[in-house]
């Protein structure tokens, strides 16, 4: 029987992927497997793009941001002959199992390969958006919110000095976790998340009150929030291979800043942290979570638990069905309303 495990990382990179690769490789080698990296996400399986992976090559991966395997948003199910090519590569490389590290899209592909083609696939959840179900947290989230928090603190300094309103736009796609946690942890005066259309009267009231009291104000917005007055219909947006709207250049921070300035007369500036919040060394939390889910993935392979994903539940790392993780996006639920009402 083959003893070779391939690992790939798909979708947006995030801090914690390299620790997860290390965890998976070190555990797999301990269990007697050999590892190989597939580069550039699912494109690597389609085209058979490989790179060596072993203990030595991954030793310091625990300290590093990004992904040493590179990534892409390739969807083999959307390419002519893509699925067949993946199955052929799996055979040609003589793989026993594949560990796919990714978010809802990458793991959605993994789910289909397991369900429809009975491939020995195991998943590892990653995303800075923290929007995967069946796991309490995903690595990447803690580091990116920490970076956004640092950006917010810098905006508070300059906003306070110039007596301005500052608007910080953060990533997070269609889930408001990054914006919400950044806003709470930065003592922002208002937060805009995609799960709730912005209450513009409340936004203007909070900003005016904050500015009257302390001569500056901070608003944090998600890249995907909605201003009812402006609407999203003004232009057609590009879709990626998974059918998701590409949110770049949507300009929510700028639009909200313009709206505030126009309706309050207060001088307002905006800043977009963008990809700076997705790079850099992982925080302690993301190193620990990454390495733990990586080790668990190798254990799931060893135990023949295919179609599973390693997940953080409470403080334990357990296997959960991949389908549970990808069935529904985890967005900010109504449970958070109480806390939001207290703080904003
Ligand atoms: O899903 C992770 C994420 O960083 C989102 O928060 C963001 O909308 C998107 O990826 C950006 O994607 P790209 O790197 O392709 O511009």
Buried b (16+ CB within 10 A) or exposed e, 51-60: eebeeebbee
Model confidence band, residue 231 (pLDDT cutoffs 50, 70, 90): low
The H-assigned helical ranges of 118-235 are 141-162, 177-185, 200-214
Domains identified in the chain, total number: 2
Query: For the chain, how many residues are written?
Result: 344
**How many angstroms does the Cα of residue 260 sit away from the middle of ligand 1?**
26
Residue pLDDT, tens place only, 316-337: 999 999 999 988 999 999 999 9
**One domain, residues 160 and 87:** no
Q: How far is CA 284 from the centre of its chain?
A: 17
Ligand 1 pocket residue status of 307, Cβ below 6 Å: no
* Same domain membership, residue 286 and residue 256: no
Asked if 268 and 214 sit in the same domain, the reply is: yes
Nearest CA to ligand 1 atom 8: 173
27 falls within a domain:
yes
* Ligand 1 binding pocket includes 319 (Cβ within 6 Å): no
Whether 337 is in a domain gets the answer no
Q: Domain of 164?
A: 144-278
pLDDT of 236 > 70? The answer is no
**Which atom of ligand 1 has the smallest separation from the CA of 144?**
4
Q: What is the pLDDT of residue 232?
A: 54
More confident residue, 240 or 313: 313
Q: Are residues 198 and 116 in the same domain?
A: no
Using the atom order of ligand 1, give the atom closest to the CA of residue 128.
2
Burial 202-235 (b: 16+ CB within 10 A, else e): ebbebbbebbeeeebbbbbbbbbbbbeebeeeee
Strands 308-313 and 316-321: antiparallel
The answer to whether position 290 is within a domain reads: yes
Look at residues 14, 93, 95, 25 and name the one whose alpha carbon lies nearest to residue 56.
25
State how far the Cα of 125 lies from the Cα of 103, in Å rounded to an integer. Answer: 6
Asked whether residue 154 falls in the same domain as residue 242, the answer is: yes
Give 278 Cα–ligand 1 centroid separation in angstroms: 9
Ligand 1: centre distance to CA 173 (Å): 7
């Amino acid at each position: 029987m083959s003893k070779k495990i391939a690992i790939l990382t798909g979708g947006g990179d995030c801090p914690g992927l390299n620790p997860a690769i290390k965890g998976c490789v070190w555990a797999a080698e301990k269990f007697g497997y050999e590892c190989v990296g597939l580069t550039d996400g699912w494109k690597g399986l389609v085209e058979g793009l490989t790179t060596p992976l072993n203990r030595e090559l991954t030793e310091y991966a625990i300290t590093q941001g990004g992904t040493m395997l590179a990534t892409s948003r390739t969807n083999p199910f959307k390419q002519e002959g893509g699925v067949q090519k993946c199955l052929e590569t799996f055979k040609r490389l003589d793989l026993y199992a594949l560990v796919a590290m990714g978010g809802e899209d990458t793991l959605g592909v993994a789910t289909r390969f397991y369900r429809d083609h009975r491939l020995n696939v195991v998943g590892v959840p990653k995303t800075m958006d923290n929007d995967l179900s069946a796991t309490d947290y995903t690595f990447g989230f803690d580091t990116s919110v920490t970076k956004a928090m640092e950006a917010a603190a810098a905006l508070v300094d300059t906003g306070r000095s110039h007596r301005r309103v500052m608007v910080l736009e953060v990533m997070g796609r269609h889930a408001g976790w990054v914006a919400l946690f950044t806003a709470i942890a930065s003592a922002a005066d208002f937060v805009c998340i995609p799960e709730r259309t912005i209450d513009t009267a409340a936004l203007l009231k909070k900003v005016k009150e904050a500015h009257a009291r302390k001569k500056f104000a901070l608003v944090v917005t998600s890249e995907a929030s909605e201003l009812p007055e402006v609407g999203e219909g003004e232009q057609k947006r590009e879709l990626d291979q998974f059918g998701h709207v590409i949110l770049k250049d949507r300009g929510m921070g700028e639009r909200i800043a313009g709206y505030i300035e126009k309706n309050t007369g207060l001088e307002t500036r905006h800043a977009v942290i963008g990809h700076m919040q997705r790079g850099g060394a992982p925080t302690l939390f993301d190193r620990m979570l990454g390495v733990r889910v990586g080790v668990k993935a190798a254990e799931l392979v060893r135990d023949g638990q295919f179609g599973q994903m390693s997940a953080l539940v409470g403080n334990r790392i357990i296997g959960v069905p991949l389908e549970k993780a990808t069935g529904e996006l985890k967005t900010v639920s109504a449970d958070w309303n109480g806390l939001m009402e207290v703080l904003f």
